[in-house]
């Protein structure tokens, strides 16, 4: 049963019996588990966290970012076990679904989830590193004064 549920979550569809009926489920990445909120200290764009995963388990994290920000996420185990990293938006947009590193540009202003998965049978301590760079404005950018809204 556990393998069937895992396949449903990975494919995002559910087939009903032998009827050939396929019902779309939420995208696998959009199924949100309890997640630890990551917040950066003032003036910092990098956060390093230590975690521990029992065998065949996962930890979830969430952070807020803006469309266009560049970022990187990496995970490394402290005992040599292979961990899997998944990064996706709250809307279900997958940025990565395997590997131990993601580097790229965030497509939307929203919450992003990080999942660290230990599929081995060995409990594993790990380090998670997250860097989200502030948006950079063009050197030719000149802020325009806002016209106040007045309602009569």
Question: Could you read off the pLDDT of 5-18 as tens digits, one per residue?
Answer: 444 344 444 433 44
Q: How does pLDDT run across 27-69, given as a tens digit for each residue?
A: 444 455 689 999 988 888 999 999 999 999 999 999 999 999 9
pLDDT for the residue numbered 99? 85
| Boundaries of every domain in the chain | 1-31, 33-132
Which pair of structure tokens corresponds to residue 109? 């202003």
CA distances from 83 to 38, 87, 109, 132 (A): 20, 13, 27, 22
Residue entry with tokens 């809204």: 149
* Whole-model pTM over 0.75: no
Instruction: Tell me how far apart the alpha carbons of residues 88 and 113 are, in angstroms, rounded to a whole number.
Output: 5
What is the pLDDT confidence band of residue 92, given thresholds at 50, 70 and 90? confident
7 or 82: which leads in pLDDT: 82
pLDDT for the residue numbered 151? 55
Chain centroid to Cα 68, Å, comes to 16
Q: Which of 119, 96, 117, 118 shows the shortest CA–CA distance to 106?
A: 96
- Residue 3 in 3-state DSSP? helix
Q: Exposed e or buried b for every residue in 30-46, given b needs 16+ CB within 10 A?
A: beeeeeeebeeeeeeee
Helical H segments across the chain, by residue range: 2-11
Which burial class, exposed, middle or buried, applies to 90 when counting CB atoms under 10 A from its CB (0-12, 13-18, 19+)? middle
Instruction: Tell me how far apart the alpha carbons of residues 143 and 57 are, in angstroms, rounded to a whole number.
Output: 48
Report the top-level CATH class of 33-132: mainly beta
């Amino acid at each position: 049963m556990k393998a069937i549920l895992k396949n449903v979550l990975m494919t995002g569809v559910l087939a009903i019996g032998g009827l050939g009926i396929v019902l779309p489920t939420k995208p696998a990445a959009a199924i949100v588990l309890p997640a630890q909120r990551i917040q950066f200290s003032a003036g910092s764009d990098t956060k390093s966290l230590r975690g521990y995963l029992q065998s065949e388990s996962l930890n979830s994290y969430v952070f807020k970012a803006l469309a266009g920000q560049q970022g990187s996420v990496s995970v490394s185990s402290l005992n040599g076990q292979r961990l899997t990293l998944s990064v996706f938006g709250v809307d279900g947009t997958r940025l990565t679904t395997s590997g131990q590193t993601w580097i790229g540009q965030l497509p939307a202003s929203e919450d992003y989830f990080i999942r660290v998965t230990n599929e081995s049978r060995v409990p594993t301590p790990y380090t998670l590193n997250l860097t989200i760079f502030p948006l950079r404005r063009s050197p030719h950018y000149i802020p325009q004064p806002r016209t106040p809204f007045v309602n009569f």
